[in-house]
Structures are given as C-alpha cells and as structure tokens.
Structure 1
Amino acid sequence: MTATLEQLHRCHLAVDLGAARTRVYVRGAGLVVDQPSVAAVNTRTGSLIAVGEFAERMTGRTPGYIRVVRPVSGGTVVDIEMAQRMLRHLLGDKLRRALRRKPRLRAAVCTPHDADPLAQRAAMETLVGLGARRVELVDTLIAAAVGCGLPVERAEASMIMVCGSAATQVAVLSLGSIVTAERVPVGGEAVDHAIVQHLRTQHELMLPSQSVRPLQLTLSGNGITPQGPATTEIHGRDVSTGLTRSVRIDTAAVREAIHTPLTSVLDGIGKVLRDCPPDLVADLVDRGIMMVGGSALLPGLDEMLREATGMPVQIAERPDVCAVLGLGAMLEGKIEPMVLDPLAS
C-alpha cells in the first residue's frame, strides 16, 4: 500500500485526513491547512455554511436546519462528497487555482494501518475529486515515524504509537517497513466518553459538548498520574432538573475511569511486542516508544505507559502534525532511500 519514495517525490501535495483535524502540505509552501475536520451544512438548501474551527464552534449551538457533520471517522472518509467540499473551502480559491495549473496533479494521502480496500478507495476518490490525476497511499505509521525523526530506514527497531481521536496504532518498524503492528479502536474520543459517563453516573452532571476535552476540565497539573490535584470543580447541567450546577469531584475516581479504556492500548502494545522478533525487542529496551498524534498530549499518558511497560517513552516535538510533516519531507526529497551495496567479489 505504501508508495515508493520516487513516486512520492513526484507528488505536489500531501493530505492527512484525520477524524479530528485535516492537514494539507503543499510542496514548496509547507503546511498550509491545519483545521478541524468539521463542516456545517444548511439542510434546507444544501449549502455549506462553515468549515474548520468556525464549524466546530457551532457544534451543539445550531438551529434545527443547520447540521454539523464530520466527513472523516477513524481516519476513514465516510462521506466523500462532503470531504471534497470541506477540502475545497479549506484550501481556498487562490491555492486551488495554483494547484489546477499543475499539468498532472499528484497527491499523497495518509491511510490507517490495514485499511480495507473501500477505505483506501474513499481516500483516493476524495482527492481525485479535487483534481488529482494520481493519488499515492502512505501508511500513517510510516509517515508519522518519518515526521518525528525515527531512523526507520536502519536495520534496527523503532517503535511508534500514533494516538488518534478514534483509534491508536502501535507498530515496530525496521528497514523502512512495518515488522508488526496493531490497531486498537480506542483514542481520545473514548477518553472523552469515559469522563462524560463517569460524571453522569456518579454526579448526575452533563457537560457541554464543547467542554468535553480530556483533562482540560477534569484534571490539570500532572494529569492522570496520582501526583495530580486531589479535587477539581466542574460546571455542567443537572440531569434531573436541567439547571446549571457545579460539583467538586475526586480526580482519583476520574483517573480510574480514564484508565479503563486505556487498558486496551496497553494490551495492543503487549501484542505487538509478543509478535516482534526477539532481536528487535532487544533494540527497544534502550529506544523505547515514540508517541505521536493529538491524543499523545494527554497529560500523564506517557508516565502511565512508562510504568506499565518498563520501557522509555517519549513524546514527539510536534506530535499532532508528525504524519503530514513526514509526508511533506518525502515530497520535498529530504528522505534518501537506503542503498544496499553489493558484496565485493
């Protein structure tokens, strides 16, 4: 599925269609789009009202005839037409005219590991609808590993964990390829849901949709580690009366609720290590795990993984944009292919 470096070097733009954010990298211009993957539609006329951050702020605040949609779910395009319209507005008229002047527009797009053929075709058709004559597919794991600076082309193990909003992908890479990988359907949205359910069942409190961000309201300081604050005050709506109410909650109980979905992530890491050859596992003792993706910024998540696995855990410098920056580096020709010298006779 992953394109070669020579094919990627011919591409003019790279797209990372994530469930949370859409990012576009144009060769020679850099990262030009980094916006939420959200669109607001007028259901009466079918017209597009807003995209990106403006549309995200409209979530839960619109009248009945305006619908806020997310055309991407779990890294897979679920509404091709809406994804195309969203991308057109995010790129803008000036940039789209510049891209249309390319004689044979080529594009590269990130796809989740082990994406089925329908998901791959949906990603390709989305970019073909924007004028791309050819679309190259790149595994998100490899693109993210390149973007965070891992030496994936060497004959040694590199372990990466891509923490997305809908899923978490874990893999061990060597010699520029994936040795073993696992995709766990648990991400930042599962953590959000765990917090919401805990507050609803234990405190009969509902949070506004805009406020359901992991740890921004419920935790602070050291995040999900026990060294965090003992209590936190939360504002929301009472389930029974519908009136606004503030409660002071025990953050230890919230940490326990968060740990429940993250257990699946630990199981995925264990499965990848069990399926990995012993020689590569020995390399990981010193290298550890590199965390990328927007949910990698969950406070205390790296510490929890460090304690559970006994391995070093690092967070990339810019974890949320590693995948698209890795694609951009391959487009710009900054990544050199590994050349094996023949043995001298």
Structure 2
Amino acid sequence: MTVSLEQLRRCHVAVDLGAARTRVYVKGLGLVVDEPSVAAVNTRTGSLIAVGALAEQMTGRTPDYIRVARPVTGGTVIDIEMAQRMLRHLLGEKLRRQLRRKPRLRAAACTPHDSDPLAQRAAVETLVGLGARRVELVDTLIAAAVGCGLPVEQPTASMIMVCGAATTQIAVLSLGSIVTAVRIPIGGDAIDHAVIQHLRQHHALMLPSQSVRPLQLALSGSGLTSHGPATTEIHGRDVATGLARSVQVDTDAVRQAIHAPLTAVLDGLGAILRDCPPDLVADLVDCGIMMVGGSALLPGLDQMLRDATGMPVHIAERPDVCAVLGLGAMLDGKIEPMVLDPLAC
C-alpha cells in the first residue's frame, strides 16, 4: 500500500469510507459529501429508498419489507454493490457527470492500518465500479495525521489516535512513515453498547440504538470526568412491561461502564509506547498525542489519556474529517516531502 505523493497528485477524487460516515473530497471543489454510511432498500423490488441522514433516521422504524443496510464495517467494505449504489446517490447526477468527463479518472481511498488484501481489494472495486480507472490506497493514520497538521515528514515523532466508530487506531509516525501502530476493535459503537447494557442490566430499561449518545444522553455533558450532575434522567422502554418509563441514572455508574471498553485502548497505547524507540518517546513527551475521529469528541476521553500516560493530549480542530482533508491536501499538492541531498562519496 505504498503510494507516492506524485501519484496522489494525479488523483481527482478522495474517498473516506468509514463505518459511521462517508466523506468525498473532489479536487478543486473541496469536501462535497459528508453523510452517514447508511442505505435503505426495498427488499421486494430491490430499489434504493434513501441514503445518508434520511436512511439513518429510518433505523429501527421501518416495516418488514424495508432493510436498513450499512455496507461498511470498521472501515472495510463488506457489501461492494450496496456501497457503490450508496456512493452513486450521495454524489448526485451532476457531480458524477462532471467526474465522468475526466479522461482517466483516478481516485484515492483511506484504508485502515494493517488491513488485509481482501479489504483493500473491496475498496478498490467499490471505486472502480464508479468509473475510476485507477485507485490509490492510503493508510488512514497517515492521511489523518496530514489532515490535522502534524509534521509527519520531519524526523521527529508524532503520535496520532484515530477514534472511529468500530475501531481505534494508534500510531507513531516519523519521516513520513509509520514506525509502530496498532488497531484495536473498540470504538464509539462499543461505548454506546456498554451504556445500553448497563441500563438494561441495572435499570431494566431499553434505549433506541441511535439515541444512546453517551455524551448527550447518559452523561449530560459531564463526560468521563467526575464533574457534573450526580444523576441524569433517562427515557426508554421497560424490559418487562414494554411501557415507556423514566429512571434516574447514577452518572458515576455509567462512567464506570464506559471505562470498561476503554481499558483496551489504554492497553494498546501502552504497547505502542513500549515498542517505540526511546528517542521517539522522548519527542512524544513534548508533542503529546493528537486525537482525531468522531469518537475523539467524547467528553473527558482526552483527560483520561492524560492521566494514564502523563503526556499532553490534543484534539484536532475538525477531528471527524481529518482523514479526508489530509487526502485532499495530498491531491492538491499542499504536502511536500522532505528532500535529502545525497552525500558525495
């Protein structure tokens, strides 16, 4: 998956197919698509009913003949045909007609770190089905680091944590390459699931899957810190009776439930620091950790990492779109590699 900046400059469109959202960057136009990676299909006729935000609103509210599909899981395309149909409708006829005018349309796509060849092939076939003649694959960690402004091309350490919906990726970068990295199957969905299970086990309350945002519902702004209200009122459905019910939830207990899946992230962070050369670890003491991805906005997560590592932790200005903006910067030629003059013998 090694691709040069010269090859990326020849690309016309960059795509970030995430488990939660799909983003498309077109050279000269900027970010043109930022929608949920969801599609609603009529199983009787096979027709596509809705994509993006409208399809996400249908989750859990559809009759039997309408299926809400998520063609991307953990950054990997699991349904190529559905992903192509979803992208085709998200782009719109006008933009697709504009891209078809390119004599040899080239595309760039983000892929998770250490993805297997089948996952890479699925990403390539998805974009080839949309008319791309050539597809360049870029590691999500490098694209996100470029998008948030880290000096990845310099001989200094830069640590980045990509907090996605299904996975968390952590890496140390230097001289434009990954020194050491790890991918952990824990993301924002796992945190949501932990809150759902806590409320079901301790309060016999069921919540709709798409309204269990921990930072909005269960924590009401207190996040993973001890500051904030001691209790929070939660509305849901009683497990036994099926009737609507409201309960007062102890935010400390919810905070502990969220900490459980995050321990795997802390273990991965420790493994990265142990595998990293000492000179680069010394650089990280000053520059710290940069957090990107939609789940990086979970209140109190940055403070939790500070307490666990003792290093400064920063959240990118636009953490959710860093990866596709980094790809866009490479397409536009805004990134220049560090040039080393060969030494004379």
**TM class, shorter-chain normalised?**
over 0.9
Cα deviation for residue 297 of structure 1 reads 0.3
Q: Report matched runs for 1:1-345 at 5 Å.
A: 1-343=1-343
Greater shift, 1-10 or 39-48, is seen at 1-10
**Alpha-carbon deviations, 1:150-192, whole Å to 9, x = none?**
0000001000000000000000000000000000000000000
The one-letter amino acid of 1:265's match is: V
**SS class of match (1:323):** helix
Partner SS, residue 110 of structure 1: strand
Quote the Cα distance in structure 1 between the aligned partners of 2:262 and 2:212: 17
Aligned residues of 2:212 and 2:218 also touching (Cα < 8 A): no
User: Quick check: 1:165–1:187 contact (8 Å CA) kept in 2?
Assistant: yes
Tell me the distance in 2 between the aligned counterparts of 1:235 and 1:244.
7
SS of the residue aligned with 2:217?
Answer: coil
Does the 8 Å contact 1:188/1:214 carry over to 2?
no
Q: Aligned with 1:253: secondary structure?
A: helix
Q: Give distance in 2, aligned partners of 1:162 and 1:312.
A: 16
Contact 1:41 1:68 (C-alpha < 8 Å) held by counterparts: yes
Give how far 1:343 is off: 2.8
* 1:222 positional shift: 3.2
Equivalent residues of 1:204, 1:240 under 8 A apart: yes
Give 3-state SS (helix, strand or coil) of 2:109's partner.
strand
How far apart, CA to CA, are the structure 2 residues paired with 1:114 and 1:183? 8
Q: Unaligned stretches of 5+ in structure 1?
A: none
The 1-side partners of 2:83 and 2:70 are apart by 8
Q: Does the 8 Å contact 1:26/1:328 carry over to 2? A: yes
Report the Cα distance in structure 1 between the residues aligned to 2:102 and 2:127, rounded to whole angstroms.
15
> How far apart are residue 344 of structure 1 and its match?
5.2
Q: Tell me the secondary structure at the aligned position of residue 89 of structure 1.
A: helix
Q: Deviations over 1:175-220 (max 9, x none)?
A: 0000000000000000000000000000000001221222210012
Give, in angstroms, the shift of residue 130 of structure 1: 0.1
The one-letter code of the counterpart of 2:330 is M
* SS at structure 2 position matched to 1:216: helix
Name the SS of the counterpart of 1:227 in structure 2.
coil
Q: Which runs of 4+ in 1 moved over 6 A?
A: none
For residue 69 of structure 1, what is the amino acid of its counterpart?
A: A
* RMSD between superposed Cα atoms in Å: 0.7
CA contact under 8 A between 1:18 and 1:74: conserved in structure 2?
yes
Structure 2 contact 104–132 (Cα < 8 Å) conserved? yes
Deviation at 1:229, TM superposition (A): 1.9
Aligned-residue sequence identity (percent) comes to 83
CA deviations 1:220-248 (Å, max 9, x no partner) are 23311111321100000000000000000
3-state SS in 1 of match to 2:170? strand
Mapped contact 2:236–2:244 kept (Cα < 8 A): yes
| Gap runs ≥5 in structure 2 | none
Structure 1 letter corresponding to 2:56: E
Contact (CA 8 Å) 2:215, 2:221: kept in 1 or not? no
Q: Does the CA-based 8 Å contact 2:40-2:50 persist in structure 1?
A: yes
TM-score for both structures, normalised by structure 2: 0.99
